[in-house]
């Protein structure tokens, strides 16, 4: 721009900001006696920050004005804005200049970098009262595993950065993005901001064309309506040409790359032929429809519809996702079809368009969990809960959850089983996306957790331990500050996983209280793992690594869990001061002898007897068959009458409990889909006499167990 153009642009931008944000920007910290130039400059700086927030996050002026925190204690940030539906945080630094020459200094860069470190450490108390009104929303974003932070420099200059502040920001990006892109820098100069206010006054009427192939239908009463399919790349072209203006009549704007929209893009790219089967399509209203036929002027024949003054009242997410898919793979997107409904509302009464928009966007939402209600194993688990424990198990969404003492829901059960799983990467995936619990197939959690149906005992005890750990962590959080306290929130699933690994899976299905006793001990001392985990985090990933991202990364959670378990094993879990009071005991039950204890007490199996391992399910046989066949010793164990570890494995000569040896076999065979626990007494056979469970049942039937023991082979 020339000097005259700069002066004109500055003057028009000043007028536009004054009109848009007059009465919306909080100026109460400036006394009435403050000099007018000082007050006006402060207002324009804040209005500039608000305009940047509006431009970047598609917020209305009042919402953008509420994002402004400029004033004493702002720590170098003039506005804090949030994306509409994605966990993105926009930290805006604004600089107004009447001459159009403002820029960012090295001091500005240092202050913004310092503020960034405070925020990632959740040190909100350092910020002013205006920030505190936004703190809960900031916390929600920063504790999301998909969090992104944008440092925005909105200046009345050319938008170019000097070398000194550029060096500061380069160091910041290197520090925070060492383990993946998390922070970026964006600049808005005078030209960008001037273009934005010019666009605000541009008329928003537009027309689009829709090409329908064979099979479309037309209805002419009560309003002219066309229903058919269009190519997804044509829909992408609408978005490319008109952007957010497509959604003026939609009750929802484009929500960004949410999980659902990422799946839409993935479906368009990977399976375009079936996309229209799984998508609700797009609804458009317009003032006029002009059909242009390619051949015969007959309904159902290929036609191009010219839609005048069109508004998309449903399908904002589909249109934008089609655009993003087209940018990834134009050929695949061109193959996909999207259902389109066009309604001409030229002569319709006032309010019809709004009614159509509301009706199109208020359908009942189906969640992945809903499909699990059809799985037959869930009904069997509910019956097992009722018959074995006398408790309730709820697995259909909409049913009331039972009280904690009387049962649990499938959500609580699945979360507990995920924490109990040997792979810490599983809790990371659940932390990143809770719906991962309900996904089947090789990469989903559901198959790992419920593929080999867990017993009511296993689920209930896992849930009880999760509850006890949760209470212990809640108690200890009151004694902590800063990063360690924040760690409990973001790292609760990993802390639960660590607790389960310390307790182990031996005897979890046994009716005695051996497993429960170990669980009580670990729950009472889990607080010692919190400062340990903090130290490991700092050592491995740096003092300012975003906790939500670390605890949502499978490889990092595996690394952290392994390091924590090694350290806790060396310390015996008790060498550090106990930070929590003793946890509430898990559901007490009458002391009963376990199956192995019963066999040992009655010397039912002689020392030195040879036992044989057997698989109990088809998936297990498929996973282990070849590996077991490579060395017959892998099937064999020798019995010794020791209730703690009665089996000596022929492969390594080490002693194990029945369950522990089965899980060792699974581990050695690298069975990735192995369950989290097993009833080992069902897997070991005394040749000619049956499994260990069979032998226990004989003792019980003969009365050898004693009426007060209540021993069971379950």
Taken in order 420, 425, 430, 435, the sign of the CA dihedral is negative
What is the residue whose two structure tokens read 């917020």?
59
Taking the C-alpha atoms of residue 417 and residue 393, their distance in angstroms, rounded to an integer, is: 15
Burial (CB count <10 Å: 0-12, 13-18, 19+), residue 667 = exposed
pLDDT above 60 for 252? no
Note if the pTM is more than 0.75: no
* Section 66-72 average pLDDT: 93
- Rg from Cα positions in the chain: 32
- Reading phi first (left if > 0) and then psi (alpha if -120 to 50, else beta), residue 240 is in alpha
Percent of the residues in the chain that have a pLDDT greater than 70, as a whole number:
88
Q: Residue 499: name the closest of 447, 451, 427 by CA.
A: 427
Q: Where residue 255 falls among pLDDT bands split at 50, 70, 90?
A: low
The DSSP H or E segment spanning 80 is strand 79-82
Decide which of 597 and 78 is more confident: 78
Task: Tell me the per-residue pLDDT of 390-437, one tens digit each, with 9 for 90 and over.
Answer: 999 998 877 788 999 999 999 999 999 999 998 999 999 999 888 889
pLDDT above 70 for 84? yes
Burial (CB count <10 Å: 0-12, 13-18, 19+), residue 287 = middle
Decide which of 33 and 538 is more confident: 538
SS3 671: coil
- Give domain limits for the chain: 3-200, 207-363, 370-571, 595-701
pLDDT above 70 for 589? no
Architecture of domain 3-200: 3-Layer(aba) Sandwich (3.40)
Tell me which of 191-200, 406-415, 450-459, 497-506 is least confident.
191-200
Decide which of 712 and 146 is more confident: 146
* Section 555-570 average pLDDT: 86
Task: Tell me the per-residue pLDDT of 212-249, one tens digit each, with 9 for 90 and over.
Answer: 987 788 888 888 899 999 999 999 998 888 776 666 55
pLDDT mean across residues, the chain: 83
pLDDT for residue 10: 84
pLDDT above 90 for 608? yes
pLDDT above 70 for 279? yes
* Section 267-279 average pLDDT: 82
Buried b (16+ CB within 10 A) or exposed e, 472-481: bbeebbeebe
Tell me which of 77-86, 319-328, 346-355, 457-466 is least confident.
346-355
Task: Tell me the per-residue pLDDT of 319-373, one tens digit each, with 9 for 90 and over.
Answer: 888 988 998 999 999 999 999 999 998 878 877 777 777 676 655 555 667 777 7
Burial (CB count <10 Å: 0-12, 13-18, 19+), residue 679 = buried
pLDDT for residue 676: 63
Task: Tell me the per-residue pLDDT of 159-210, one tens digit each, with 9 for 90 and over.
Answer: 788 888 889 989 988 888 877 788 999 888 888 888 777 766 554 556 889 9
Task: Tell me the per-residue pLDDT of 525-541, one tens digit each, with 9 for 90 and over.
Answer: 888 788 888 888 888 88
């Amino acid at each position: 721009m020339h000097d005259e153009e700069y002066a004109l642009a500055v003057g028009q931008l000043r007028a536009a900001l004054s009109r848009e944000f007059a009465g919306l920007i909080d100026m109460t910290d400036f006394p009435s006696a403050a000099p007018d130039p000082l007050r006006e400059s402060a207002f324009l700086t804040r209005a500039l920050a608000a305009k940047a927030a509006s431009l970047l996050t598609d917020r209305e002026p009042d919402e953008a004005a509420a994002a402004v925190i400029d004033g004493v204690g702002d720590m170098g940030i003039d506005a804090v804005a949030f994306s509409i539906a994605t966990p993105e945080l926009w930290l805006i630094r604004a600089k107004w200049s009447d001459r159009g020459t403002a820029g960012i200094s090295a001091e500005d860069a240092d202050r913004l970098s310092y503020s960034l470190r405070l925020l990632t450490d959740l040190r909100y108390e350092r910020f002013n009262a205006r920030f505190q009104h936004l703190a809960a929303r900031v916390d929600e974003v920063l504790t999301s595993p998909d969090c992104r932070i944008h440092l925005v420099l909105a200046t009345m200059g050319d938008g170019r950065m000097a070398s000194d502040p550029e060096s500061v920001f380069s160091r910041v990006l290197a520090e925070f993005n060492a383990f993946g892109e998390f922070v970026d820098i964006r600049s808005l100069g005078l030209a960008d901001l001037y273009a934005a206010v010019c666009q605000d006054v541009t008329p928003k009427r537009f027309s689009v064309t829709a090409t329908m192939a064979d099979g479309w239908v037309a209805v002419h009463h009560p309003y002219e309506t066309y229903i058919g399919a269009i190519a997804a790349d044509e829909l992408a072209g609408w978005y490319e040409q008109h952007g957010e203006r497509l959604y003026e009549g939609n009750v929802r704007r484009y929500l960004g790359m949410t999980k659902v929209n990422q799946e839409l893009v993935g479906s368009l790219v990977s399976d375009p032929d079936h996309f229209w089967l799984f998508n609700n399509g797009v609804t458009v209203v317009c003032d006029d429809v002009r059909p242009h036929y390619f051949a015969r002027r007959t309904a159902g024949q290929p036609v191009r519809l010219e839609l005048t003054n069109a508004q998309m009242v449903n399908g904002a997410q589909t249109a934008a996702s089609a655009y993003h898919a087209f940018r990834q793979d134009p050929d695949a997107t061109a193959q996909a079809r999207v259902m389109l409904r066009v309604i001409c509302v030229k002569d319709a009464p006032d309010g019809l368009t709004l009614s159509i928009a509301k009706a199109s966007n208020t359908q009942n939402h189906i969640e992945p969990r809903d499909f699990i209600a059809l799985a037959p194993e869930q009904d069997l688990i509910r019956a097992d809960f009722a018959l074995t424990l006398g408790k309730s198990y709820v697995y259909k969404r909409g049913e009331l959850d039972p009280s904690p003492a009387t049962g649990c829901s499938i959500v609580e059960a699945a979360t507990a089983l995920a924490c109990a799983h040997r792979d810490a990467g599983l809790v990371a995936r659940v932390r990143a996306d809770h719906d991962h619990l309900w996904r089947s197939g090789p990469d989903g959690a559901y198959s790992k957790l419920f593929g080999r149906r867990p017993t009511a005992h296993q689920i209930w005890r896992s849930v009880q331990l999760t509850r006890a750990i949760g209470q212990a962590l809640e108690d200890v959080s009151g004694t902590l500050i800063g990063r360690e306290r924040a760690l409990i929130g973001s790292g609760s699933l990993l802390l639960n996983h660590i607790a389960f690994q310390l307790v182990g899976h031996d005897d979890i299905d046994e009716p005695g209280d051996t497993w429960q006793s170990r669980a009580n001990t670990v729950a009472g001392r889990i607080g010692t793992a919190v400062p340990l985990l903090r130290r490991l985090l700092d050592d491995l990933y740096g003092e300012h690594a975003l906790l939500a991202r670390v605890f949502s990364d499978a490889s990092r959670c595996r690394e952290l869990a392994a390091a924590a378990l090694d350290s806790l094993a060396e310390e015996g879990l008790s060498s550090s001061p106990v930070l929590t009071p003793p946890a509430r005991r898990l559901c007490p039950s009458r002391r009963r002898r376990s199956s192995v204890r019963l066999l040992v007490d009655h010397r039912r199996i002689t020392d030195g007897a040879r036992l044989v391992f057997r698989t109990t399910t088809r998936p297990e046989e498929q996973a282990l068959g070849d590996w077991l066949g490579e060395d017959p010793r892998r099937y064999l164990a020798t019995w010794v009458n020791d209730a703690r570890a009665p089996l000596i494995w022929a492969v390594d000569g080490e002693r194990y409990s029945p369950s522990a040896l089965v899980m060792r076999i699974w581990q050695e065979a690298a069975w990735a889909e192995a369950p989290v626990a097993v009833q080992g007494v069902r897997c070991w056979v005394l040749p000619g006499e049956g499994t260990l469970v069979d032998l226990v049942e004989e003792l019980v039937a003969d009365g050898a167990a004693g009426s007060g023991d209540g021993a069971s082979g379950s």
